[in-house]
């Protein structure tokens, strides 16, 4: 017997079928779909680990090498990085999640679940402001566009307070979204600071497209959400790409400590040199040229009214003054975003006392 949704319910309650027994069948179907969606996420992770283990391990090794994530946060950070790689990395043409869809879509029997799975090619990182939290559903707004986004969390036991921030890889779920396996929530007390920092970072990046910015900066955003502001860097904490890079860091550190407050100047110098090495991967012939140029950049940041001349720096590092001048200008251009970040951090710091 076929029963229309507006027909009287055959149970005899006097209510329409859609308001009575039909209502329970709809809920049951939604629960089944949700269960299958959660199971598909687990299948994708297992598929990735089984078929792309070496690729993922290599990515993770490179990502963690200089991440300086405290041990207590390492498991969560690693898991979120793997999620990011699986769902969005398209270095080989397609993300791993897309390859899973190509190979396994035909095994999904329910058309509704098939449609949801196909839409996961649009997976992307997101930062969302929580406006309302109820059961397993979050009413949120995109941090940058303020567009409303309804998020299904599938975990009624986890309460996310209003005015929190949630971060993770979002995947479509019909007209809503859900997070791919794991997400972070930033409590309301820290949310304003977090938002201000991320907005500043995006402005400094020069990127106008929020989606592009979050996609490229997701590792740094996740680390900040987990750890907060990073403490001072020391050259011994970093695994340098080449021995020459390390030797320049050591040379700079020793000379800077002679003339500036090392507690302030050394972390600035190490941070700038590491950023420069990551961007340029230099092959220095004269280490003194690079160390001298870096030293001048540090002085301009932490002691702007008492900057050495190129000649003085050349004598200090046994290098040509003109070579140091040229290299400093080139480094200044490459590091303009990093320098601006340090300028903001140091704006309240008075000029350090020279020895």
More confident residue, 190 or 108: 108
Which range has the top average pLDDT, 67-81, 83-97, 110-124?
110-124
The whole-number pLDDT of residue 341 equals 79
Q: Considering the entire predicted model, what is its pTM?
A: 0.60
pLDDT bracket for residue 96 (50, 70, 90): very high
Q: Count Cα atoms within 13 angstroms, Cβ side, for 344.
A: 11
The whole-number pLDDT of residue 354 equals 38
158 to 34, 137, 229, 277: CA distances (angstroms): 17, 11, 26, 42
Whole-angstrom distance, CA of residue 266 vs CA of residue 270: 6
The whole-number pLDDT of residue 352 equals 38
Whole-angstrom distance, CA of residue 253 vs CA of residue 265: 9
More confident residue, 128 or 160: 128
């Amino acid at each position: 017997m076929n029963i229309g949704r507006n027909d009287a319910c055959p149970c005899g309650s006097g209510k329409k079928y859609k308001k009575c027994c039909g209502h329970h069948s709809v809920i049951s179907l939604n629960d089944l779909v949700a269960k299958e969606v959660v199971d598909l996420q687990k299948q994708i992770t297992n598929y990735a680990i089984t078929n792309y283990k070496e690729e993922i391990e290599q990515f993770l090794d490179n990502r963690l090498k200089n991440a300086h994530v405290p041990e207590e946060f390492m498991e969560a950070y690693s898991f979120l990085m793997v999620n990011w790689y699986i769902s969005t990395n398209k270095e080989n043409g397609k993300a791993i999640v897309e390859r899973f869809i190509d190979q396994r879509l035909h095994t999904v029997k329910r058309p509704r679940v098939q449609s949801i799975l196909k839409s996961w090619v649009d997976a992307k990182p997101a930062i969302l402001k929580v406006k309302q939290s109820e059961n397993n559903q979050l009413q949120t707004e995109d941090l940058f566009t303020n567009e409303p986004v309804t998020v299904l969390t599938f975990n009624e036991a986890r309460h996310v307070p209003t005015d929190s921030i949630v971060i993770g890889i979002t995947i479509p779920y019909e007209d809503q979204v859900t997070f791919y396996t794991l997400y972070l929530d930033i409590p309301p007390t820290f949310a304003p600071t977090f938002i201000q920092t991320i907005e500043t970072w995006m402005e400094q990046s020069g990127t106008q497209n929020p989606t592009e910015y979050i996609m490229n900066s997701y590792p740094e955003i996740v680390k900040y959400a987990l750890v907060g502001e990073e403490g001072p860097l020391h050259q011994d904490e970093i695994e340098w790409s080449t021995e020459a890079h390390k030797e320049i860091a050591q040379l700079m550190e020793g000379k800077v400590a002679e003339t500036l407050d090392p507690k302030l100047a050394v972390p600035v110098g190490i941070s700038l040199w590491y950023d420069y090495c990551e961007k340029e991967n230099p092959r220095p012939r004269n280490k003194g040229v690079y160390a001298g140029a870096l030293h001048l950049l540090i002085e301009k940041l932490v002691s702007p009214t008492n900057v050495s001349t190129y000649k003085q720096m050349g004598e200090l590092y046994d290098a040509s003054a003109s070579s140091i001048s040229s290299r400093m200008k080139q480094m200044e251009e490459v590091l303009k975003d990093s320098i601006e970040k340090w300028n903001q951090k140091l704006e309240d710091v008075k000029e350090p006392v020279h020895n």
